[in-house]
Amino acid sequence: MEQLAFGLVAAVLLYSALRVVSEDNLVHTVLWLGVTLATTAAAYVLLHAPFLAAIQIILYTGGALTLMLFGVMLTQRVESVEVPNAAAGQGRAAIVVALLFGVIAAAVVKTPGLPSSPPVDVPVRALGRSFLTTHLLAFEVLSVLLLTAMVGAIVLARKADPAPAPTPKPAPKAHDAHGEAHP
């Protein structure tokens, strides 16, 4: 059953990765990248690494993908740019990829099987304590960097406020002969 689940996850991962590099629409490319990153998290779950899966979802699928979508949405689209001949290099690229795949497959087949090591149980509490003691400076620098990116995205996304309209002055009140004001 686990092999079937891994095969399904691998098939979805491969399909979505191919869509990332073959999609014409940039927004669709980023969304397919999100599917690829989420499927990678599913592969981590199947490898019994739930912490890595959570980090994959939080950092990459959540953070990096949001950043890319902000970048795509905030930049102006250039519709007039044409690629001279996009299909010209695809044949050579396919040959290079096939050769590289063959070399890697041969290396995997010739490598003797290694005994699997027992899973390492890293307590999440110790990891969190390490972030807040030993690695506090790096943790805080990263938090300031992310805060700066969020503020920058908000500033860029906000439209420039038009000049405020002048507030109308109240009409002067009429005074009678005795100096009393009447509306």
Structural domain boundaries of the chain? 1-75, 124-157
* Mean local confidence (pLDDT), 156-171: 64
Note the pLDDT tens digit of each residue in 33-66: 999 999 999 999 999 888 889 989 988 888 888 8
User: What is the length of the chain?
Assistant: 183
pLDDT at 5 (0 to 100): 93
Supply the DSSP string of 15-54, one letter for each residue: HHHHHHHH-SSHHHHHHHHHHHHHHHHHHHHHTT-HHHHH
- Chain-centroid distance of CA 105 in Å reads 31
The Cα 144–Cα 60 span in angstroms is 18
What is the predicted pLDDT for the residue at 175?
63
CATH (residue range 1-75): 1.20.120.1200
The first and second tokens of residue 79, run together, are: 């519709």
| 164: pLDDT strictly greater than 70 | no
Residue 170: per-residue pLDDT: 67
pLDDT in tens, 66-118: 888 777 777 766 665 565 666 677 788 889 989 999 999 999 888 887 777 77
**42 within 8 A of 61, measured Cβ to Cβ:** no
Over residues 13-22, the pLDDT tens digits come to: 999 999 998 8
* Alpha carbon distances (Å) from 114 to 2, 57, 110, 117: 20, 30, 12, 9
Element (DSSP H or E) covering residue 127: helix 124-132
Q: What pLDDT, on the 0 to 100 scale, is given for residue 2?
A: 86
Q: Output the pLDDT for position 95.
A: 92
Nearest to 29 by CA among 38, 39, 18: 18
Contact 40, 63 (CB under 8 A): no
Q: How far apart are CA 126 and CA 112, in angstroms?
A: 35
- Please provide the average confidence, as pLDDT, over all residues in the chain: 82
Question: pLDDT band at residue 151, thresholds of 50, 70 and 90?
Answer: confident
Tokens of 14: 């491969």
